[in-house]
Structure 1
């Protein structure tokens, strides 16, 4: 089932409307969002466990959640 705004907030805490809409637009499930959040916050631990790098919607969500570099500023 596709995520709702409420579920996005439950997983991530307060987020902006644009990010929430972008996440919901991926068509991801709550489980995929949880997995993406884990990758963004503890990728070294997951790689150390031997998990494969995220693919598909999980990778797309991880890209949305990853901190943006300020190199272009």
Structure 2
């Protein structure tokens, strides 16, 4: 998968993310599938889609935003 193909699916992204994606050896279709899972995982399961393959799951890990940082004690919500 080329840099241009990755950007065509994701839009502008960090070069490190592009490199991580390229290193997975995933296809453009697998990247599209991972991107779809990030936006609508519950909907895809409800529609009967099979769970992501290991390669697609790795792409999801790369693309998902990091979890919220732990709360600082005493910080107001």
**Structure 2 length normalisation: TM-score?**
0.85
Q: 1:49 offset after TM fit, Å?
A: 0.4
Question: Considering only CA atoms, is the larger Rg found in Structure 1 or Structure 2?
Answer: 2
2:52 counterpart residue number: 54
Q: 1:51 offset after TM fit, Å? A: 1.4
CA RMSD of aligned residues (A): 1.3
Tell me which moved more, 28-37 or 52-61. Answer: 52-61
Size of the aligned set, in residue pairs, is 71
- Corresponding residue number in structure 1 for 2:31: 33
Distance in 2, matches of 1:55 and 1:28, equals: 11
Any gaps of 5 or more consecutive residues in structure 1?
none
Query: TM-score, normalization: structure 1?
Result: 0.90
Question: What whole-Å deviation, never above 9, does each CA across 1:4-36 have from its counterpart, x for those lacking one?
Answer: 000000000000000000000000000000000
Gaps of 5+ in 2: 72-77
